[in-house]
């Protein structure tokens, strides 16, 4: 099946930032576009704003003057819903209120033809519920664009409980014809991106609430060690704390207050105080003129150890052994069946974050997971209060000798990157097991929708089948609230390897 014919008009109802962006996408793709807004004059203002953006595209060499003029000729603001009668697709981008959307689509159903595709751009409401009052809900689908719609490639094509396969396919092919990268998903709270991305924010906030590290340090570790483009605190300041918290709260409520999606009290207090991020001038950070951005905690220079003993390899951190040798530090490798670690000259141990804490062991320093230890510019370490100062100094000096800045954080299980990635992988496996989307679409959605360096399943393959399960299983033992309980899907995934290899 192909998408919507280019001769078929596309209507956009709601002319805020998102509505204008969607209209621009359809317009540049070659469709006639009708703009409608319930507020008098807003549709005409939106048409003018879209025209100005087309002018800027011409100035940047991304659109010819002829194409701009043709697009402007196809753009028509209208004053009445009845003017949308001949449209082949209507995309709604109005207020995120179920009653408002249901009423709108009820009115549209009386106006448009029976083969007109009806779509909502909702990011937080149930597509099934929005279309639930329609006489013909089979033609109703979610088309969730990401802001700014003209620039971001991802579109989540959401099938409600009553959506016909032909309607979903038609919407999918239309988005692809518009130059977007569509992914198909079932109607579940948060769809793909807003469901699976929750731990990126939640775990950063949890580490902060545990007094283990400040926002600047956590952000730096996520960027410089985890490979994420932005840290959770700076990203939520950009999104808007009220917007981000609202999505988190909506997903949590929609999943019947599932502990895995519990909102952050610290973020709630931020919203209550009016510190909404960049748009209000202050959030986690201060954006006032002249305000200094806090620096991440970076350890003082320490001497590197003369040698290390590698016992049992380092699993996902095995690349460190080559880096240590390149730095001129002797490495002696010993086969061990009880864990993977580096033993330092002090006798202390350096261990990859595994969901346990330094306080449980004698003289253990944990180091965080990195996307790529060779290119990472910062590594986090954690130690207990009674960890030997010499062991911590040797661990710090070791990573500094590899050219890394070192941030020493509090003794929290899973540290920062490891717990975040493990939870993202878990939610992704759970989503596939419950028919939300395919592995491929989830990886695509997380790379394009929130700019992750790897999709969850790409991370999983790199780390090994049991890494995420082991981290979360250990964390769940230390926090039995259910927040870190591995899903049944992740359990099956982790133990499938053991069964094939004949291990117990």
Catalytic residues: 123, 144, 156, 194
Q: How far is CA 496 from the centre of its chain?
A: 27
Q: How far is CA 9 from the centre of its chain?
A: 33
- Which segments of 142-275 does DSSP mark as H helices, in order? 165-177, 193-196, 198-209, 215-224, 232-239, 241-254, 265-272
Burial class, 328, CB count within 10 angstroms (exposed 0-12 / middle 13-18 / buried 19+): exposed
Length of the chain in terms of residues written: 504
What the block records as the tokens of 164 is 């016909």
Angle between helix 467-478 and helix 417-433 axes, rounded to 10 deg: 110
Residue with tokens 């100062």: 389
CA dist list (Å): 101 to 59, 93, 126: 37, 9, 11
CB atoms within 10 A of CB 98: 16
Residue with tokens 């469709």: 31
Q: Distance (Å, rounded) from C-alpha 160 to C-alpha 386?
A: 55
Burial class, 389, CB count within 10 angstroms (exposed 0-12 / middle 13-18 / buried 19+): exposed
Please tell me what DSSP assigns to residue 312: S
> 341-343 and 330-334 as β-strands: parallel, antiparallel, unpaired?
unpaired
Angle between helix 456-463 and helix 417-433 axes, rounded to 10 deg: 110
- Inter-residue contact 497 to 469 (CB < 8 Å): no
- Inter-residue contact 241 to 276 (CB < 8 Å): yes
Mind giving me the DSSP string for 4-47? --TTS-EEEE--SHHHHHHHHHHHHHT--EEEE-SSTTHHHHHH
Q: Distance (Å, rounded) from C-alpha 407 to C-alpha 387?
A: 16
Q: How far is CA 224 from the centre of its chain?
A: 17
């Amino acid at each position: 099946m192909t998408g919507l014919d280019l001769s078929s008009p596309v209507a956009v109802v709601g002319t805020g930032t998102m509505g204008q962006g969607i209209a621009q996408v359809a317009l540049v793709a070659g469709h006639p576009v009708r703009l409608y807004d319930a507020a008098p004059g807003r549709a005409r203002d939106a048409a003018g704003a879209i025209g100005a953006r087309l002018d800027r595209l011409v100035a940047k060499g991304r659109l010819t003057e002829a194409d701009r003029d043709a697009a402007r000729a196809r753009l028509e603001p209208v004053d009445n819903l009845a003017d949308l009668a001949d449209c082949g697709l209507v995309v709604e981008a109005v207020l995120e209120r179920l009653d408002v959307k249901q009423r709108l689509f009820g009115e549209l159903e009386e106006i448009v033809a029976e083969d007109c595709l009806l779509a909502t751009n909702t990011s937080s409401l149930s597509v099934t519920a929005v279309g639930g009052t329609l006489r013909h809900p089979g033609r109703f689908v979610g088309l969730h664009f990401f802001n700014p719609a003209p620039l971001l490639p991802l579109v989540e094509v959401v099938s409600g409980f009553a959506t016909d396969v032909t309607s979903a396919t038609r919407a999918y092919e239309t988005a692809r014809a518009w130059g977007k990268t569509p992914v198909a998903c079932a109607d579940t709270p948060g769809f793909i991106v807003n469901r699976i991305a929750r731990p990126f924010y939640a775990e950063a906030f949890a580490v902060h609430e545990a007094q283990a590290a400040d926002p600047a340090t956590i952000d730096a570790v996520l960027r410089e060690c985890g490979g994420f483009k932005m840290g959770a605190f700076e990203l939520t300041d950009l999104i808007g704390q009220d917007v981000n918290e609202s999505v988190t709260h909506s997903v949590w409520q929609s999943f019947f207050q599932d502990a895995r999606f519990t909102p952050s009290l610290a973020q709630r207090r931020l919203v209550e105080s009016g510190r909404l991020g960049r748009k209000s001038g202050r959030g986690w950070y201060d954006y006032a003129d002249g305000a200094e951005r806090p620096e991440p905690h970076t350890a003082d220079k320490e001497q590197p150890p003369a040698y290390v003993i590698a016992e049992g390899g380092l699993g996902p951190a095995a690349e460190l052994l080559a880096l240590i040798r390149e730095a001129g530090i002797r490495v002696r490798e010993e086969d061990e069946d009880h864990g993977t670690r580096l033993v330092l000259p002090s006798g202390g141990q350096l261990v990859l974050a595994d969901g346990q804490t330094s306080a449980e062991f004698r003289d253990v320093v944990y180091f965080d997971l990195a996307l790529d230890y060779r290119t990472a510019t910062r590594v986090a370490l954690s130690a207990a209060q009674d960890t030997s100062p010499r062991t911590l100094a040797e661990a710090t000096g070791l990573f500094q000798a590899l050219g890394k800045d070192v941030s020493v954080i509090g003794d929290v299980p899973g540290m920062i990157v490891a717990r975040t990635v493990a939870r993202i992988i878990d939610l992704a496996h759970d989503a596939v097991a419950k028919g939300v989307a395919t592995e491929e679409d989830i990886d695509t959605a997380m790379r394009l929708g929130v700019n992750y360096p790897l999709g969850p399943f790409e991370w999983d393959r790199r780390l090994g089948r049991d890494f995420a399960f082991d981290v979360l299983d250990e964390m769940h033992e230390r926090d039995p609230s259910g927040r870190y309980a591995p899903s049944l899907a992740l359990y099956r995934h982790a133990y499938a390897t053991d069964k094939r290899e004949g291990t117990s």
